[in-house]
Amino acid sequence: MINNDSKKNAVSTIKAKGLAALFPYSSEELLEEMIKRHAPIKEYLFNKEMGKQLQKIDSDIAEYCMLKMIDQYDALILPVHDSFIVQQDKIHILKEVMIEAYYKFVGGKVPIDEKGFKLWPPNEGLIHDDVHLYEKYEVQSLQFLRRFNKDVSEPLMAPDVFPDSYEEEVEEDDDHYLIEFF
């Protein structure tokens, strides 16, 4: 309703996406029910510019989080819809940065939904043949950090990413870190 400029166009979108079939309403009835349900923001509906403004705020918040995490914490985060993927040891920092970004661009406080959140147990499913995947990740991450003139004197990987059963020895090279397992 925010990205359509009229009720007629909103009904067409509902029909095109088959949304009415999910409810016991016609497309027109479903639209009216949604308008009733969102009465507090009714004045903002059917205004494409409002949709663009909200998307801009959303992208500003995401950009702020990504840049602050790399600039201040040397952490790469991956945006996925309205969430982020981050190294396990940076989760609490990211949460603080997200709250800060929301306050900066919107004002007020925002709850961070952690339902379904689960730390990946590093030992689960990792076999010796998979170790090369982490080495590739580390090389690519370090190249990215160098591009932004960040300190790469420490390995980027969180210390708990590798299983305890492996002993590691880190040798520094001019271009990358080599992690040997024996």
Q: What is the pTM of this model?
A: 0.57
- Same domain assignment for residues 53 and 38: no
Is 63 part of any domain?
yes
Indicate whether 31 and 63 sit together in one domain.
no
Same domain for 56 and 23: no
In the chain, alpha helices (H):
7-17, 27-37, 48-73, 91-105, 131-147
Q: Are 96 and 64 within one domain?
A: yes
33 lies in the same domain as 61 = no
Q: Is residue 116 part of a domain?
A: no
Same domain, 56 and 25: no
Task: Give the percent of the chain with pLDDT over 90.
Answer: 37
Residue 169: domain span: 128-181
Is there a domain that residue 149 lies in?
yes
**CA–CA distance, 101 with 119 (Å, rounded to integer):** 24
pLDDT band at 172 (very low <50, low <70, confident <90, very high): very low
Boundary residue ending a domain (74, 105, 136): 105
**CB 34 within 8 Å of CB 1:** yes
More confident residue, 135 or 143: 143
pLDDT one-digit tens code per residue, 4-31: 899 999 999 999 998 888 889 999 999 9
The total number of structural domains that make up the chain: 3
Does 64 reside within a domain? yes
